[in-house]
Amino acid sequence: MNPKSHVPILVVEDESSIAELLRFTLQDAGFDVNIAATAQAARQALEKALPRLVLLDWMLPDTAGITLLNEWRGNARTAALPVIMLTARSLDEDKVKGLNAGADDYVTKPFSPRELVARIHALLRRQAPSEKNEPKSIGMITLDEERHVVLVKNSPVDVGPAEFRLLQFLMSYPERVFSRTQLLDRVWGDLAYLEERTVDVHIMRLRKSLGSAADYLKTVRGVGYMLKSGVES
Ligand code: CA
């Protein structure tokens, strides 16, 4: 991963000395760091923008980290947010609780900065199938990221840059329904000024570009959109 990629990370940690150590460590590794000292501040930070990953302390002054994690997992917008739990607890039972609550990984304090950064990189790689560069195919659609082309039945089709990213994202999660808000967050990078209608416009353009493969893009009424892994012909 490019160390200058400025991947945003939210650190939820109330002990200021640890928060500052984390800020230093992560900035040094090329991440953009935002710190929330309470669960409430973390909720507000997530409402504003979704980070690529959250480091979540178990013991917070207002709400337990694990309760916060449960909230996020229960909300469509944050359900897939990569979360590493951070805690002084080293009991196996607590690790199991954290992982059962949906944490992607678990780091025990005192942590080694190098190990923490390595775990973050590993989790980001796991969460970002779209960053792998080999062409992806779903049914009659192929997307080649390196050549920046989309093929339908092996013939290149014209796809605009936003539609390309939209298709790239949906092809990473076939058969999964995303709301317009989720697509704005994940494809357009949480640009709050964009309206949900924007998604509809780009879906329409993408369908037009896909031509005979347009039926792969399915509207799920009242929910959003999904890319089917196959269509009846
Ligand atoms: Ca704490």
The alpha carbon of 104 and the centre of ligand 1 are apart by a number of angstroms equal to 19
Segment 159-168, tens digit of pLDDT? 988 899 999 9
Q: 85 versus 194: which is more confidently predicted?
A: 85
- Which residues does residue 141 pair with via DSSP β-bridges, in sequence order? 138, 152
Segments of the chain assigned E as strands: 8-12, 32-36, 53-57, 83-87, 105-108, 136-138, 141-144, 149-152, 155-157, 178-179, 217-220, 224-227
The alpha carbon of 57 and the centre of ligand 1 are apart by a number of angstroms equal to 6
The alpha carbon of 18 and the centre of ligand 1 are apart by a number of angstroms equal to 9
The alpha carbon of 12 and the centre of ligand 1 are apart by a number of angstroms equal to 9
Q: 97 versus 218: which is more confidently predicted?
A: 218
Which of 5-9, 105-109, 150-154 is modeled with the greatest confidence? 150-154
The alpha carbon of 38 and the centre of ligand 1 are apart by a number of angstroms equal to 9
Token duo for residue 232: 């009846």
pTM of the model: 0.56
The alpha carbon of 70 and the centre of ligand 1 are apart by a number of angstroms equal to 17
- Decide if pLDDT at 13 tops 70: yes
Segment 132-159, tens digit of pLDDT? 567 889 999 999 987 889 999 999 999 9
- Decide if pLDDT at 4 tops 60: no
Q: At the fourth CATH level, which superfamily is domain 8-127?
A: Response regulator (3.40.50.2300)
The alpha carbon of 7 and the centre of ligand 1 are apart by a number of angstroms equal to 24
- Location of each CATH 1.10.10.10 domain in the chain: 136-227
- Location of each CATH 3.40.50.2300 domain in the chain: 8-127
The alpha carbon of 105 and the centre of ligand 1 are apart by a number of angstroms equal to 17
Task: Supply the pLDDT for residue 132.
Answer: 54
The CATH architecture to which 136-227 belongs is: Orthogonal Bundle (1.10)
Contact 95, 86 (CB under 8 A): no
% of the chain residues with pLDDT over 90 = 49
% of the chain residues with pLDDT over 70 = 88
The alpha carbon of 40 and the centre of ligand 1 are apart by a number of angstroms equal to 14
The alpha carbon of 14 and the centre of ligand 1 are apart by a number of angstroms equal to 5
Provide the mean pLDDT of the chain.
86
